[in-house]
Amino acid sequence: MPAYFLEIAIVLLGLGLLMVDAFATTLDRRLLGHLGIAGVAAVLAGLVFGVDSSASEPLWGFYATDTAALFYKGLALVCTLLVLVLALEYAPVLESYRDGRPGRRGLGEFLCLPLFLCAGLMWMASMTDLLGLFVALETVTITFYVVVAYMRRNLGSLEAGVKYLILGALSTGFLLYGLAWLFGLTGQTNLAAIQTVLVDWKGDTTPLLFTMALLMVGLSFKVGAAPFQFWIPDVYQGAPTPITAFLSVGSKAAGFIVLIRLLEPLLASPIRHAVLLMLGVLAGATLIVGNLAAISQSNFKRLLAYSSIAHAGFLLMALAAGQPAGGVSPNGVVALYLGTYLVMTMLAFAVLVIVRKAGGSDELTAFNGLSQRSPFLAFALVLAMASLAGVPLTAGFFGKFFSLVLIAGAGQWALLTVAVVAAACGFYYYFKVIRCMYWNDPVSEAPPLVFSQLTRVAIILLCVAVVVLGVYPKPLTCLLAP
Amino acid sequence: MILAALIVIPLLAAVAVAAGAPARLTSLAAAVLNAVLTVAALMAFKTGEVGYQLAATLFTVLPSPDLKLSVGVDGLSLVMVLLTALVSLGAALASPSTVARGSLRLYHASVLLITAGAMGAFVSTDLFFFYAFHELALIPTFLMIGLFGTGDRRTAAWKITIYLGLGSLILLAGLAALFLNLGGTTFDMAKLTVAAQTTPMAAGTQSWIFLTLLIGFGILISLFPFHSWAPQAYACAPTPVAMLHAGVLKKFGLYGLLKVALPLLPLGSQSAWVLNLLLFALLGNILWIGLVTIAQRELDLMLGHSSVMHMGYIFLGIASHHLIGLTGAVLLMFAHGLSIALLFFLNGVIRSAAGTTHFDRFGGLAKQAPRLGLMFGLATFASIGLPGLANFSGELLVFFGAFKNVAAGGTLWLPLATILALWGVVMSAVYGLRAYRSIFMGQPGANPATVPDLTTTGLLTALVFVIPLLLLGFFPNLLLDLVRPALAALHG
């Protein structure tokens, strides 16, 4: 089966569920979520077992089915699956901020929209043409505009929606302008054709530099790189938590696949050094801003927001190395990093959703004494925090280690120093969460933590993944070799 | 497979404890089993043969770069395994069966994780896992000190975590640079050693990488001026953690220097400016921290400082770059690990009974608690380097080695540093004997604290440490014969 059947299947699934939501008036909306999960799982199985990637240039060269594309499609699917599980768990909170009769508060649509996000992300992973790339990106961004502001009665959610809309539109403008310049300079929309033109670029490099700057600005917004990271904490904090998780993982992964695909022709052009320098500066600034700002956070969602900025810094650092070192390639390290980042971030958000539902707050104080209220959840969150901090033998270590190896291989000692200090800051702010859970006592009459068996299974699987990937990262290393 | 079992048993025990097995019994059983297996490994080990023995590759993590979970021991790592087995046995015996706050299962599972990490670091023959296993202790230590510690435990827990976190990241950067400069294709330590010999790096590169490793390892070892986390953390930590940390985990950094930094960076470790920096730092450990130790009025802080101070001698042995000094350093690592663990154990006994360790509250305790007095005396004498106990031979060899180096044409700063370092022996005697006198001799002061004598378990725990200390005090060759071939092979 050609790979693009997968996107079609996801879109059809989403449309079908929307129809059911619209016409089946008495149905329990949770069923839509379960159907969605089953459907996504089926498509994931199709991706793993049934994709024929041998067909060369399907869809007139718009669409790539290389390993990278398939890898990021898998990432999008797993991410969507977990977001749907979280969304089901989060449903009571969501409904408390919506109008209407109980059971008629838009839960159905909320459970369908991630599927369209997923389709956009999967499409984006395969796009090798500027037009397709932009359309896929907008599919994702516009869907995010809707779901970020979904909790209509919550001021935070509305604020997040407006901020995301305005800044997202602005960044899209930059990106589109950059794409227009790229087309104007090369006369091509296909990335491979653009690369052919740029490799032999003999003219003035100023327009190329301008193009690069525009693209970088646009994409820095998407991946959350400093100094374009200002929207992240507010939007993350305000958005419904499952959507925050999606933003944090899916949106970031999408930003990086686009970045990698767009950089490829530029890195082959005469401005290669300027591109790498720019990436290095962005990486350093992002590492510093993300890690230093995270230190003082007292809200868990904001903490995770800054943590996502910090991780964007490490990812950019891997790209800024620009060349393979020690048997690993930058693109492969980014893929490995994003794969492990998905697992550990989703684990953290899963625990957050449960604690938020029981305690009504995202503050760190809500986690006080979690080890006494639920040793299971506390242990899961310890694993997530250890992994995010990059403690060895957890999933998060390999990505960090290899990005350090890459940057050391490139001989960029200043950036390496920044990265070491930044990672050391991580030990403080991630361990702050562990401190709350184990050192502090819970508030008296803390409500019980209730969660479904589905969520329990998801958390157990994520815990296993964090530990197993920490010693056996092979499932995520298909792109690693240079 | 014996070596793999040494890691797996504490890990499985930790899981079992977390799942609800009887905590103290399980951790004790795991420690005893590990001690038995260590003895089996000692029996199976062929002294005098070069290279890794009992080696096994458990699985391949990545084919490229070559990254495997593989285990094996040479004489040096076997000694460290023995140290870990002994100290963890003592720590398991010293672990309580009830705790005032937090959960007992968390307590024992954390101790077991620390043990597993230390074992893993010493038996790994892959640079990656050598590093990774050591970090297994990070979170359990943080939880243990912050939750079960005494005094200003939270500050101490933060300090040790951030210091050691930063130290291990600097170390990681250094190891990454080392890996890349040795070809960047394998993490296998044996292959890296071959690469270092066949295609040596430029001396300048070696110096910089060695300095990075020295700072990284140095933070973990509490090398002056990166030591300030150690005394407070040890003073506040619950007894088993203090024993394991001061006794074993601190030795990881020294082991790393001996096993990785020196053999892989022969030119860097002997470059004059790096060596002079090291000499300056180790004199800071011995003289400066020695004076600070003398000024302490509380037993736990005094022990914490003294353990920092004694690192100076081991560094001196390493700086000597002479086989005699290096073997002395290893013997001293082993002996110090045992003696400081024993002292922290006895400190824990005193603190839990009296609620304080301030010298003013004690006096004449040897009459009340003769067994405690005897054991404490032996531990103190070992620690200050009295003949008949293992530390003495170690210190002696370190000083001989340092002078020998000069005879072989080494740096001239070394004898000067050695002569200054010798004064540390006097300082040790001052604070060690004074602590013994104020607690166990003389008359109880006003408002004296009462401490019951060691129980049978307590005595047993102390004997775990005292017997090897005495044995090696009289027969240091038991250990030196094991270590010498390994060090000779590593350092040419």
Residue A58, preceding bond cis, omega within 30 degrees?
Answer: no
Q: Say if CB B260 and CB B130 are below 8 A apart.
A: yes
Higher per-residue pLDDT: A468 or A441: A468
Torsion of CA A11, A13, A17, A19, to 10 degrees: 60
Q: How far apart are CA B155 and CA B78, in angstroms?
A: 35
Q: How far apart are CA B280 and CA B258, in angstroms?
A: 19
ipTM of this complex > 0.85?
A: yes
Instruction: Classify residue A60: in a domain, yes or no.
Output: no
The tokens describing B81, both together, are 């395994």
Query: Who contacts B204 (Cβ-Cβ below 8 Å, separation ≥6)?
Result: none
Instruction: Using alpha carbons, select from B309, B304, B258 the residue that is nearest to residue B282.
Output: B309
Select from A326, A416, A424 the Cβ nearest to the Cβ of B165: A424
Strand, helix or coil for residue B59: strand
Within A127-268, residue ranges assigned H as helices are 130-148, 155-186, 191-199, 206-223, 231-238, 241-246, 252-267
The tokens describing B173, both together, are 């950067």
Note whether B61 contacts A471, CB cutoff 8 Å. yes
- pLDDT, tens digit, for every residue of A64-121? 888 888 999 999 999 999 999 999 999 888 888 888 777 677 888 899 999 999 999 9
The tokens describing A167, both together, are 């800044």
Q: Say if CB B124 and CB B68 are below 8 A apart.
A: no
Over residues B232-236, the mean pLDDT reads 92
Query: Who contacts A199 (Cβ-Cβ below 8 Å, separation ≥6)?
Result: A268, A269
Select from B64, B102, B173 the Cβ nearest to the Cβ of A408: B173
Q: How far apart are CA B342 and CA B376, in angstroms?
A: 8
pLDDT at B412: 75
User: Is pLDDT above 90 for B347?
Assistant: yes
Instruction: Classify residue A8: in a domain, yes or no.
Output: no
pLDDT at A180: 95
- Helices B75-94 and B456-474 cross at an angle (nearest 10°) of 160
Mean pLDDT of chain A: 91
Note whether B161 contacts A431, CB cutoff 8 Å. yes
Backbone dihedral angles phi then psi of residue A201, each to the nearest 5 degrees: -65, 120
Over residues A197-213, the mean pLDDT reads 91
Q: Could you give the number of structural domains in chain A?
A: 1
H or E stretch at A385: helix A375-389
Q: How far apart are CA A292 and CA B490, in angstroms?
A: 42
Q: How far apart are CA B363 and CA A245, in angstroms?
A: 62
Q: Half-sphere exposure (CA, 13 Å, Cβ side) for B220?
A: 29
Tell me the chain A residues in contact with residue B102 when contact means C-beta distances shorter than 8 Å.
Answer: 371, 438
Determine the residue of chain A that is closest to B180 in CA distance.
A326
Instruction: Classify residue A161: in a domain, yes or no.
Output: no
- Residue B212 Cα distances to A22, B178, B205, angstroms: 64, 10, 11
pLDDT at A96: 85
Tell me the chain B residues in contact with residue A405 when contact means C-beta distances shorter than 8 Å.
Answer: 176, 179-180, 184
The tokens describing A171, both together, are 């960044």
- Which DSSP string do the residues of B437-461 spell out, in sequence order? HHHHSS---SSPPP-PPP-HHHHHH
Q: How far apart are CA A215 and CA A225, in angstroms?
A: 13
Instruction: Classify residue A286: in a domain, yes or no.
Output: yes
Q: Provide the pLDDT confidence category of residue A171 given band limits of 50, 70 and 90.
A: very high
Tell me the chain B residues in contact with residue A408 when contact means C-beta distances shorter than 8 Å.
Answer: 173, 176-177, 180
Q: Say if CB A330 and CB A456 are below 8 A apart.
A: no
Q: How far apart are CA B179 and CA A325, in angstroms?
A: 10
Higher per-residue pLDDT: B50 or A12: A12
Instruction: Classify residue A470: in a domain, yes or no.
Output: yes
User: Is pLDDT above 60 for B409?
Assistant: no
Closest approach of B58 to chain A, Cα-based (Å): 11
Q: How far apart are CA A63 and CA A118, in angstroms?
A: 17
Select from A386, A408, A431 the Cβ nearest to the Cβ of B176: A408
Higher per-residue pLDDT: A13 or A65: A13
3-state SS, B396-429, equals HHHHHHHHHHHHCCCCCHHHHHHHHHHHHHHHHH
- Helices B370-384 and B413-440 cross at an angle (nearest 10°) of 170
- Tokens 């397709």, located at residue: A132
- pLDDT, tens digit, for every residue of A222-274? 899 988 899 999 999 999 999 999 999 988 998 999 999 999 999 999 999 99
pLDDT at A28: 83
Note whether A431 contacts B65, CB cutoff 8 Å. no
Q: Provide the pLDDT confidence category of residue A153 given band limits of 50, 70 and 90.
A: confident
Strand, helix or coil for residue A369: coil
Strand, helix or coil for residue A359: helix
- pLDDT, tens digit, for every residue of B70-85? 999 999 999 999 999 9
Note whether A424 contacts B180, CB cutoff 8 Å. no
User: Is pLDDT above 80 for A416?
Assistant: yes
Query: Between residues 104 and 163 of chain B, which touch chain A (CB distance below 8 Å)?
Result: 106, 131-133, 135-136, 138-139, 142-143, 146-147, 154, 158, 161-162
The amino acid that residue A213 corresponds to is A
Note whether A391 contacts B170, CB cutoff 8 Å. no
User: Is pLDDT above 90 for A407?
Assistant: yes
Higher per-residue pLDDT: B338 or B64: B338
End-to-end CA distance of chain B: 29
Instruction: Indicate the DSSP class of residue B88.
Output: H
Note whether B65 contacts A326, CB cutoff 8 Å. yes
Note whether A371 contacts B64, CB cutoff 8 Å. no
pLDDT at B40: 94
Determine the residue of chain A that is closest to B176 in CA distance.
A405
Please classify residue A192 by burial: count the beta carbons closer than 10 Å to its beta carbon, then call 0-12 exposed, 13-18 middle and 19+ buried.
Answer: middle
Instruction: Using alpha carbons, select from B222, B391, B354 the residue that is nearest to residue B293.
Output: B222
Note if the pTM is more than 0.90: yes
Backbone dihedral angles phi then psi of residue A56, each to the nearest 5 degrees: -85, 135
Instruction: Using alpha carbons, select from A209, A226, A206 the residue that is nearest to residue A272.
Output: A209
Higher per-residue pLDDT: B151 or A352: A352
Strand, helix or coil for residue B124: strand
Over residues A306-315, the mean pLDDT reads 95
Strand, helix or coil for residue B68: strand
As beta bridge partners, residue B60 has B68
Closest approach of A372 to chain B, Cα-based (Å): 8
Select from A409, A424, A480 the Cβ nearest to the Cβ of B184: A409
The amino acid that residue B354 corresponds to is A
Note whether A327 contacts B133, CB cutoff 8 Å. no
Instruction: Indicate the DSSP class of residue A247.
Output: I
The tokens describing A250, both together, are 């899916």
User: Is pLDDT above 90 for A310?
Assistant: yes
Higher per-residue pLDDT: A53 or A357: A357
Q: How far apart are CA B318 and CA B327, in angstroms?
A: 9
Tell me the chain A residues in contact with residue B136 when contact means C-beta distances shorter than 8 Å.
Answer: 392-393
Instruction: Indicate the DSSP class of residue A477.
Output: -
Q: How far apart are CA A121 and CA A102, in angstroms?
A: 32
- Tokens 């407006």, located at residue: A162
Instruction: Classify residue A212: in a domain, yes or no.
Output: no
As beta bridge partners, residue B188 has B126
Interface A-B: count of C-beta contacts within 8 A = 97
How would you label A428-450 residue by residue, b for 16+ Cβ within 10 Å and e otherwise? bbbbbbbbbbbbbebeeebeebe
Rg of chain B over Cα atoms, rounded to whole angstroms, equals 21
- pLDDT, tens digit, for every residue of A18-77? 999 888 878 888 899 999 999 999 999 999 888 876 666 667 778 888 888 899 999 999
The 10 Å Cβ neighbour count of residue A475 is 12
The amino acid that residue B230 corresponds to is A
Tell me the chain B residues in contact with residue A393 when contact means C-beta distances shorter than 8 Å.
Answer: 132-133, 135-136
Tell me the chain A residues in contact with residue B187 when contact means C-beta distances shorter than 8 Å.
Answer: none
Query: Who contacts A330 (Cβ-Cβ below 8 Å, separation ≥6)?
Result: A318, A319, A321, A322, A323, A324, A406
Select from B106, B132, B184 the Cβ nearest to the Cβ of A327: B184
How large a percentage of chain B has pLDDT more than 70? 99
The tokens describing A11, both together, are 């879109």
Give the domain range for residue A322: 272-482
Enumerate helices (H) and strands (E) in chain A, giving the number of each. Answer: 19, 0
pLDDT at A318: 94
Instruction: Classify residue A377: in a domain, yes or no.
Output: yes
- Helices A130-148 and A155-186 cross at an angle (nearest 10°) of 170
Instruction: Classify residue A421: in a domain, yes or no.
Output: yes
Tell me the chain A residues in contact with residue B147 when contact means C-beta distances shorter than 8 Å.
Answer: 438-439
Closest approach of B77 to chain A, Cα-based (Å): 21
- pLDDT, tens digit, for every residue of B87-106? 999 999 999 888 888 789 99
User: Is pLDDT above 80 for B160?
Assistant: yes
Query: Who contacts A402 (Cβ-Cβ below 8 Å, separation ≥6)?
Result: A318, A326, A328, A333, A336, A337, A480
Closest approach of A334 to chain B, Cα-based (Å): 16
